[in-house]
Structure 1
Amino acid sequence: MPIVTWIGQNAGWRVAYLVVAAIFAATFVAVFLAVPAQAGNPEATLRRELRAFTRLQVWLALLIGAIGFGGFFAVYTFVSPMVTEVTGLPEWSVPLALVVVGLGMTAGNLAGGWWADRDVKAALLSLFGLLIVSLVGLVLTASNPVGLFGFLFLIGGSAAALSPGIQIRLMDVAHDSQSIAAALNHSALNTGNAVGAALGGVTVAAGLGYTSPAIVGVGLSIAGLLIALASFGLDRRRRGPRRPTDGQRPTTQPIGIGG
């Protein structure tokens, strides 16, 4: 992304799109030649996979991504004018800002996958909290280069770290419809891309400034956190308390991600 942005700034947007097309073409050829063919699952029928859409928890997991992840895209869409208009840095700093976001996303994806493997509930709830705090921090410090780059790194990291947890949650609640659930995760995140960018654009068009998308991001991230809390709370209600045995007092059964 930073390299293509730099190309677009210096050679025009058409050349940038040609570069993107060339990268995709090279990737297609590499996958075709290097990835071995794998047999499909004969039990994964279309009817069984479509049952995922009849489960409330699947829809809640999709909303976590479509709404909560929109908080990241509300900011990411307007990084360029934020860097130049709010922080007052030269235009060549925009690719650098995107590199910082990308580094955060790389670190976050690795850390988020590790955490989600161990406790998906704690990972999702904590990372939404970090994303919200980082977005608020960006609003308050965007005029300072240190604050800008520091919070862009944290925003990219916390947002990317959410993705593995959402993926695991979605596949878990899909039960025997996991093939389609695996594909739906990115559909939800791309919906978040559209929602976040659109709402951020509304605030900018209304004259609220280039930090206003971060405020939109706070709202979307809080909404995503609330949906996640509702989803895990529904797990607790459905599982119910354990029955006391051997004179023990009743205890609440831990929430698991398996179904």
Structure 2
Amino acid sequence: MPLAILALAISAFGIGTTEFVMMGLLPNVADDLGTSVPTAGYLVSAYALGVVVGAPLLTALGSRVPRKRMLLLLMGLFTVGNLASAVAPGYGTLLAGRFLAGLPHGAFFGVGAVVAARMVSEERRARAVAAMFLGLTVANIVGVPAATALGQSLGWRATFLVVSVVGLLALASLALLVPLLPEEEHSGLAQEFTALRDPQVLLGLLTAVFGFAGVFAVYSYLASMMTEVTGFADSTVTLLLALFGIGMTLGALAAGPLTDRALRPTLYGSLAALAVVLVAFHYAARSKELAPVAVVVLGMVGFLTTTPLQMLVMNKARRAPTLASASNHSAFNLANAGGAWLGGIAIGAGWGWTSPALVGAVLAVIGLGIAITAGVLDHRAPGTASAVVATGQPRPSGVTDGVGA
């Protein structure tokens, strides 16, 4: 893999750390700011909504900006947002800081995925994108647990200061390792929006919204579930978060080759497995022996869905994949916000700390239904099934997205 993908992975590490660390710090932030855990959970939603707004907005504004420069600008905004979170004097300003930090997230991964795909041969595109996403998974093994432990010992503000430093390191790696890409690879804004209106792209985005919401319905309250229901001490939360990251890494490693081989079957299988695992998680969380295993498996099947969904919208967007790719991260983080919100409603209604797992299972089933519907429609319309790859070139004959496979 090109060294530029390492720079993208380092950036993904920083983004993944700040995105997921708030879940482990919710009890600490709630205590410090004098609010409840479900209310503090809206800090997760604020970041996610920043992604939802920022992905299409910043991608549109930067449609004519060279991709390397765009990546640098987005990482700079990410660093400023985390610094603002670190110095926020109260809940409202922290909410705003989290929203600001989330704004560049989707656009960065949207542009980064296209850059990663264009630096490797066509048959290794999904693996290149998955390699960039490994930064997210490593963040959950190392970054999130370490940042959570730091926040628990020195205060949550220290966590966001350290993430700001990671942002600066990511800026340096992007400047040194990512090459300037040819200007002709940029699509016009009108062309990007036209590609985004493709029914298969829209169905892919809708699949991400519902399917991935199931993961965040649980993950947003994982720390509280493990301490309030399973009976683990607060000090073990960082280990449990690391286990989730290990599962994510296993899912990412499997997702690249599987997606390159058969996209839609990989997507169907991961969503179906996610629904089953979420139901099992509801019961496994009551056992100290089973809960850690369930955390690993949930991370694995949850992250297995990300690469096929990313490649699906990039393929179906044909010659203008950047906005569709960025919008996919809006969809993931709309799922983040929605999952956290619905999980909080279930807990607030008195259904129990593990009730978000059952809510998540229903959401995963809905996502699977949308994915299957999209596959059937694509199979019935052969003209739409031949995607154009992210390089802007027609897909070679014999390479499919797994429709009908």
State if a TM-score over 0.5 links the two structures. yes
What CA deviation, in whole Å up to 9, does each residue of 1:165-207 have, x standing for no partner?
0011111221222222222222211111111111101111111
| Structure 2 equivalent of residue 46 of structure 1 | 189
2:349 aligns to what? 206
Distance 1:258 1:135 in 2: 26
Q: What is the RMSD computed on CA atoms of the aligned residues?
A: 1.9
The residue that corresponds to 1:22 in the other structure is: 165
Rounded Cα–Cα distance in structure 2 between residues aligned with 1:23 and 1:205: 35
Deviation track 1:214-248 (CA, whole Å, cap 9, x = no partner) reads 111101111110110110011122239xxxxxxxx
Q: Deviations over 1:34-82 (max 9, x none)?
A: 3222223356221211112321111110011111111111111011011
> 1:159 is matched with which residue: 291, 302, 306?
302
Q: CA deviation at 1:24?
A: 1.2
Alignment of 1:49-64 (within 5 A): 49-64=192-207
Residue identity opposite 2:263 in structure 1:
V
| SS of residue in 1 equivalent to 2:286 | coil
Q: Residue 196 in 1 paired to residue 339 in 2?
A: yes
Matched, 1:12 2:126: no
1:143-158 → structure 2 map (5 Å cutoff): 143-158=286-301
Residue 257 of structure 1 corresponds to 401
- Tell me, yes or no, if the aligned pair for 1:71 and 1:217 is still in contact at 8 Å: yes
The code of the aligned residue for 1:150 comes to V
Task: Calculate percent identity across the aligned residue pairs.
Answer: 37
Preserved contact between residue 67 and residue 224 of structure 1 (Cα < 8 Å):
yes
Answering whether residue 319 of structure 2 is matched by residue 176 of structure 1, we say: yes
Could you tell me which residue of structure 2 aligns to residue 95 of structure 1? 238
Equivalent residue number for residue 37 of structure 1:
180
Provide the rounded CA distance (Å) in 2 between the counterparts of 1:83 and 1:255. Answer: 44
Report if the CA contact (8 A) 2:196-2:324 is conserved. no
TM superposition score normalised by structure 1: 0.90
Alignment length (residue pairs): 246
User: Which is higher, the Rg of structure 1 or of structure 2?
Assistant: 1
Q: Work out the CA distance in 2 between the residues paired with 1:85 and 1:91.
A: 10
Verify the 8 A CA contact 1:67 1:221 in the aligned structure 2: yes
1:167 maps to a residue whose letter is Q
TM-score by length of 2: 0.58
Closer, same or farther: CA 156–120 of 1 in aligned 2, 3 Å: same
Q: 1:40 to 1:7 in 2, by over 3 A?
A: same
Match of 1:250 in 2: none
Equivalent residue of 1:41, what SS? Answer: helix
**C-alpha contact (below 8 Å) 1:61/1:228 kept by paired residues:** yes
The structure whose residues are more often helix, as a share, is: 2
CA positional deviation for 1:146: 2.2
Does 1:70 pair with 2:217?
Answer: no
Report SS of the residue matched to 2:234.
coil
Equivalent-residue separation in structure 2 for 1:208 and 1:51 (angstroms): 44
Contact 1:58 1:173 in 2 (8 A): yes
Partner of 1:238: 381
Kept in 2: contact 1:167–1:182 (CA 8 A): yes
Matches within 5 A, 1:111-122: 111-122=254-265
C-alpha distance in structure 1 between counterparts of 2:339 and 2:367, whole Å: 12
Contact 1:74 1:216 in 2 (8 A): yes
Distance change >3 Å, CA 189–CA 40, structure 1 → 2: farther
Give the CA deviation at 1:158. Answer: 0.8
5+ unaligned residues in a row in structure 2: which ranges? 1-143, 384-397
Structure 1 residues 42, 34: CA separation in 2 closer, same or farther (over 3 Å shift)? Answer: closer
Q: Tell me the distance in 2 between the aligned counterparts of 1:258 and 1:173.
A: 13
Report if aligned partners of 2:261, 2:402 keep a CA contact under 8 Å in 1.
no
Aligned with 1:86 (options 229, 239, 247)? 229
Q: Report the Cα distance in structure 2 between the residues aligned to 1:110 and 1:101, rounded to whole angstroms.
A: 14
Partners of 1:174 and 1:127 lie apart in 2 by 23
Equivalent pair of 1:235/1:255 in contact (CA under 8 Å): no
